[in-house]
């Protein structure tokens, strides 16, 4: 169907609303690009299954997921990932597991969406291992490995020993008068004490920093120099062990890159289907009957872009007793809205969206829908507008078939 006619019927505005119901970047992209399909019954039934599942189990457990394309490529190139990257992959596993737990596999009423859930790969063991070892993107747990736990314990013990030695200096009657404050601080990742500049020669050690005013010199006393060196060596050992842990976890993820890629696609598709269902639910949509008789029977049809509390339901029937329908009436009487409602609801149904009508409604799948719905300027005010309408109608006449639906608004004739 030509995008020009879709825009005239404000289908793009429906898609904007539909996108707000999608949670993932894949689902949003699919919603943006949703177009009417010939496979109408399948799409409607698929959406209807998702709709019923939402009514049964509540909203689907999907949140935003990160684009992991680059991460997958890095894994396939045997690169190690960061803790942040590994958490992103673990979120994919978590989402996949929660989706499988959400779906009632024992119920045979969801055949059209069954495979999307059943084909999701889950790995509870790996998911748990990452969550146990990586507390957040900046923190690896002490228990991530026995070696890391030992290193950190040694760090803690050594830090306490250094602090005790420096506190002895800070609180001694001999040295306290030389200090700017009675505190132990850290400069350049080494424990130091703040010494008044005029007494810097009274405490033997290494100067690591000077305050902006120049009144304070931060000195590392000789008595803790070797201990600080040892502490920094432990910190280096800690980073090496953390890198090893991350490398080990990355290796485990590298074995399931195909499964992760498949999960991403499945999650995106599930998000897309359930966005259609959630949108349909928000407008009190129903699954219309599809007939073969080239009939439209929309009962209590409501335009989905008009406020629920203000929209006036209309009945639209054509095809059973007559194949053409002329709507007349005064300005602002609802003629244009009636045309737009008819065209838009059909396009929505062809796109797999349930439509806001009574359940007795029935539709036919036309091979195309044409629309010439413009503004209400008079021809005298805008000849160019009228000419545009005429060209549009000529195009419609050339393109329409006996199985097409044509909607013409404010049709005028010149003699």
Give tens-digit pLDDT for 88-106: 999 999 999 999 999 999 9
Residue 115 reports pLDDT greater than 90: yes
11-27: average pLDDT: 97
Beta pairing, strands 368-372 & 404-408 = parallel
With a cut of 50, say whether residue 290 has pLDDT above it.
Answer: yes
CATH number at residue 311: 3.40.50.300
- The mean per-residue pLDDT over the stretch 19-39 comes to 97
227, 155: one domain:
yes
Residue 339 lies in a domain: yes
Structural domain range at position 162? 146-234
- Does the residue 11 lie in any domain? no
- Hey, which of 177-186, 260-269, 301-310 has the most confident mean pLDDT? 260-269
**Are residues 46 and 134 both part of a single domain?**
yes
The chain-wide mean pLDDT, for the chain, equals 92
Q: Three-state SS for 367?
A: coil
- End-of-domain residue from the set 173, 200, 234: 234
Does 42 lie in the same domain as 109?
yes
pLDDT at 32: 97
**Domain shared by 94 and 198, yes or no:** no
Range 290-319 average pLDDT: 93
pLDDT higher than threshold 90 for residue 273: yes
> How confident is the model at residue 414, as a pLDDT?
47
> Region 71-84: what's the mean pLDDT?
97
Q: Are residues 157 and 299 in the same domain?
A: no
pLDDT at 396: 87
Q: Comparing C-alpha atoms, which of 262, 353, 275, 283 is closest to residue 24?
A: 275
Same domain, 266 and 376: no
Query: Is 313 in the same domain as 404?
Result: yes
**In whole angstroms, what is the distance from residue 406 CA to residue 358 CA?**
23
Domain-embedded: residue 1: no
Residue with tokens 């830090």: 159
- Average pLDDT on 126-150 reads 97
226 and 365 share one domain: no
pLDDT digits (tens, 9 = 90+) for 349-403: 999 999 999 999 999 999 999 988 865 444 344 446 667 777 788 888 888 899 9
Indicate the range of 27-31, 271-275, 391-395 predicted with least confidence: 391-395
Region 117-141: mean pLDDT is: 97
The neighbour count for residue 378, using CB atoms within 10 Å, is 10
Please check whether residues 62 and 168 belong to one and the same domain. Answer: no
333/409 Cα distance (integer angstroms): 13
- pTM across the whole model: 0.87
Percent of the chain whose predicted confidence (pLDDT) is above 70: 95
Sign of the torsion formed by the C-alpha atoms of 126, 128, 131 and 132: negative
Question: Is the pLDDT at 313 greater than 70, yes or no?
Answer: yes
Looking at the structure of the chain, the number of domains it has is: 3
* Residue 34 pLDDT: 97
Distance CA 232, CA 391 (A): 80
pLDDT beyond 80 at 2: yes
> What per-residue confidence (pLDDT) applies to 375?
53
**pLDDT of 282:** 96
Same domain, 50 and 75: yes
Q: In the beta sheet, which residues pair with residue 190?
A: 187
User: Would the pLDDT of 62 be above 60?
Assistant: yes
The interaxial angle of helices 111-118 and 40-57, nearest 10 deg, is: 70
Q: Which pLDDT does position 393 carry in this prediction? A: 83
User: Which residues neighbour 183 within 8 Å (Cβ) at sequence distance 6 or greater?
Assistant: 170, 193, 194
Reported as type and span, the H/E element at residue 212 is none
Please give the pLDDT value at position 41.
96
> What's the CA gap between 278 and 55, in Å, rounded?
10
Report d(CA 343, CA 406) in Å as an integer: 9
Say yes or no: 118 and 53 in one domain.
yes
Residue 6 in any domain: the answer is no
């Amino acid at each position: 169907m030509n995008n020009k006619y879709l825009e005239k019927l404000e289908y793009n505005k429906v898609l904007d609303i539909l996108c707000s119901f999608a949670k993932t970047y894949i689902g949003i992209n699919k919603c943006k690009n949703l177009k009417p399909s010939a496979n109408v019954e399948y799409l409607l039934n698929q959406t209807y299954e998702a709709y019923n599942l939402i009514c049964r189990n509540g909203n689907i457990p999907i949140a935003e997921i990160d684009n992991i394309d680059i991460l997958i490529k890095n894994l396939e190139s045997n690169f190690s990932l960061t803790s942040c990257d590994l958490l992103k992959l673990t979120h994919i596993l978590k989402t996949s597991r929660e989706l499988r737990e959400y779906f009632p596999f024992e119920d045979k009423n969801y055949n059209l969406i069954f495979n999307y859930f059943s084909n999701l790969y889950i790995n509870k063991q790996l998911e748990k291992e990452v969550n146990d070892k990586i507390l957040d993107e900046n923190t690896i747990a002490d228990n991530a490995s026995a070696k890391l736990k030992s290193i950190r314990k040694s760090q803690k013990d050594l830090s306490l020993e250094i602090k005790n030695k420096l506190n002895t200096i800070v609180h001694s009657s001999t040295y306290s008068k030389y200090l700017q404050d009675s505190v132990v601080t850290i400069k350049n990742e080494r424990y130091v004490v703040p010494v008044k500049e005029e007494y810097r020669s009274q405490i033997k050690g290494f100067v690591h920093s000077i305050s902006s005013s120049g009144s304070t010199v931060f000195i590392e006393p000789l008595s803790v120099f070797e201990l600080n060196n040892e502490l920094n060596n432990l910190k280096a050992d800690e980073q090496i062990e953390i890198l090893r842990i991350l490398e080990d976890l990355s290796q485990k993820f590298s074995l399931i890159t195909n499964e992760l890629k498949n999960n991403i696609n499945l999650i995106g598709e599930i998000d897309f289907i359930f966005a259609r269902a959630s949108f349909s639910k928000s407008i009190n949509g129903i699954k219309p009957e599809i007939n073969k008789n080239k009939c439209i029977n929309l009962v209590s049809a409501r335009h989905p872009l008009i406020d629920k509390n203000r929209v006036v339901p209309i009945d639209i029937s054509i095809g059973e007793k007559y194949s053409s329908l002329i709507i007349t009436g005064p300005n602002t009487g609802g003629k244009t809205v009636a045309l737009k409602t008819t065209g838009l609801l059909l396009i929505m149904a062809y796109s797999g969206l349930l439509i806001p009508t009574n359940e007795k409604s029935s539709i036919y799948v036309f091979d195309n829908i044409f629309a010439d719905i413009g503004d209400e300027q008079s021809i005298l005010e805008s000849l160019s507008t009228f000419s545009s309408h005429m060209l549009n109608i000529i195009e419609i006449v050339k393109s329409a078939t006996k199985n097409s639906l044509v909607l013409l608004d404010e049709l005028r004739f010149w003699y």
